[in-house]
Structure 1
Amino acid sequence: MRDQLEDAQKHINDGYGRAQHLNKVELPKRFYSQVDVARSAEGFSVTLDGRQVRTPGKKVPVVVPALSVAQTMAEEWAAQGEFIDPATMPMVRLVNSAVESGEEMIPEFRAEVIKFAGNDLLLYRADTPQELVDEQERVWDGALVKVARHFDVAFQPTIGIIHQPQPAQTLEKLDQALEGQRLLPLTALVSITGLTGSGILALALLHKLMTPDEVWTAAHVDEDHQIRLWGEDEEAMERRAKRRVEFDIAVAVVHPVNAG
């Protein structure tokens, strides 16, 4: 299951340009000394030696609606050493991706979250071993109940991996729950959806039905079960730690931007 989720995340990153393959790429040298945050009528921007930051591809000026997002971006720019390493700048990469995607991508981003919700991690259950079955029921049923009650919808979990269609009315109501979401938080929600394998968990987080830690725990029920059985794998834990950084950055975008 985890391999499938990682493949899905790669698909999202490739499809929307949210992540770049940075291995074996010569890193540019740092060309600035002073990093600041500037405010304008449009929002907040990062400046490097007084010049507003632009996206690396389309060279679009980067303006964000929340001061906290701009401050995090500025911290990432300031933390660069002799070379600029985008792999160490998750907020910058997320925001650049949103800006370069453009407002026209909003319907597709909404559709991506709902597509996951219709074939969600939380809806496909194991039949053995009993310890995993019990843990999935305890954690995932709790999440489904919160979402079902909040949106007045019904879910149809199934055992195994054969596709189980969800009620059309459920998916319509979940899509309505994304109405009014702007480009940047929607980009972050797509990231959260891919990182967790769950559109349902992304919606639960958006509407504050679950905390970020609860969402992260629910997304790793299967993986945590394997760790209890076989112990931690160093490479797997390193990948998980990197995903958690991406997850936390996306969470840091969703609520502040909507509050703004």
Structure 2
Amino acid sequence: MLKSVVRIFPQASCLLSRQQIIPARCPALLNLVKIQFNQYSSLEKPKRFYKKVGILQSNGDYEITLDHRKLKTPNGVLFKVSSEPLALAIAAEWDAQCDKIERSSMHLTGICNTVIDNPNRLTKFDLVQNIINFLETDTILYHTQEEEELRVIQEKEWGGILSWFNQRYGTSINYCMDISGPTISEKDRATVQRHFLSYNFDTVMGINFAVETLKSIVLALACVDRKLSIEEAVHLSKLEEEYQIGHWGRVEWAHDLDQQELQARVAAAIFYVHVNSLNESNGIKKKASN
């Protein structure tokens, strides 16, 4: 698990070693993107106010320290997690900040803050209902009927993953080729819902984060089950966009930033799901042995 922390969040290796605490074809579009990027960059960001980042174990949980101060959530609640690998990855996010703190880049911190504060007072059932609503709008269930070349690509790239999903989860979901959307049977909806309800609240929050990023339940669960890599899932979620870019060109740096941001968000969500699932499994084993 510690190796996966370093693989997904390479900053963690620096933290451990130091501290040992645990398209050019469209000028108008290019100008618009640059303006939006400059506006975003000019937003005031808090300065980094700490030198060292560490983790502290307390009563079976792990807290993040910034110098000698304990990290708190936006609501002022003590920030703590029950997984050491998760704590290390979060500490790495804070340690990677430069002169300014880019909170939007700290996806694991964001997920944990949402879980701890739960600002909308959501229950696990609320989260599952939000996820289930993506079934009818799942990215890979909408195939084009206008562009034959794109349709062939969609059938090739998406077809196998949908077949895997149906076999893995015992569903019979089919794609559609019109704007009315796919027809999801009550049986299939209930099957997928039961699967999500089998997870704890924290894990469902991570899955929800992945589904909202990829706009796809199928792709998110393929990542959770390690059927797809993060890069493959993001590629499939942007398949039509990639096809259009292949025909009309791209704004290279803007596209690369978008891809990296999506991959970072999905990687954080899937990592969060895996560490929480492992933590829950270990907890059940401990109870059984007592």
| TM-score bucket (shorter structure) | 0.7 to 0.9
Mapped contact 2:125–2:197 kept (Cα < 8 A): no
Residue 160 of structure 1, CA deviation:
2.0
Deviations 1:88-131 (Å, cap 9, x if unpaired)?
32221222122221774322211111110233111111013222
Q: For 1:78, give the aligned amino acid.
A: D
Q: What are the residue-to-residue correspondences of 1:98-247 with 2, within 5 Å?
A: 98-101=115-118, 104-234=122-252, 235-247=254-266
Mapped contact 1:42–1:63 kept (Cα < 8 A): no
Q: Distance in 2 between matches of 1:59 and 1:42?
A: 21
Mapped contact 1:147–1:209 kept (Cα < 8 A): no
2:275 is the counterpart of 1:251:
no
The count of corresponding residues between Structure 1 and Structure 2 is 239
Q: Distance in 2 between matches of 1:212 and 1:182?
A: 23
Counting aligned pairs with the same residue, the percent is 22
* Structure 2 residue corresponding to 1:94, chosen from 111, 133, 136: 111
Q: Distance in 2 between matches of 1:153 and 1:230?
A: 37
Any idea what SS the aligned residue of 2:192 has? helix
Q: Distance in 2 between matches of 1:194 and 1:183?
A: 16
Deviations 1:47-67 (Å, cap 9, x if unpaired)?
1223321102x1112222322
* Higher RCO (CA < 8 A, seq sep 6+): 1
Q: Distance in 2 between matches of 1:80 and 1:204?
A: 31
Mapped contact 2:150–2:240 kept (Cα < 8 A): yes
Q: Distance in 1 between matches of 2:229 and 2:44?
A: 39
2:88 is the counterpart of 1:71:
yes
Q: For 2:115, give the aligned amino acid.
A: A
Any idea what SS the aligned residue of 2:134 has? helix
RMSD: 2.3
Q: Distance in 2 between matches of 1:211 and 1:81?
A: 29
**TM-score of the two chains, using structure 1 as the length reference:** 0.82
Q: For 2:269, give the aligned amino acid.
A: A
1:181/1:23 CA distance change after superposition, 3 Å: farther
Any idea what SS the aligned residue of 2:244 has? helix
Unaligned 5+ runs, structure 2: 1-39, 280-290
Runs of at least 4 residues off by over 6 Å:
none
Residue 36 of structure 1, CA deviation:
0.8
Structure of larger gyration radius: 2
Q: Distance in 2 between matches of 1:115 and 1:104?
A: 16
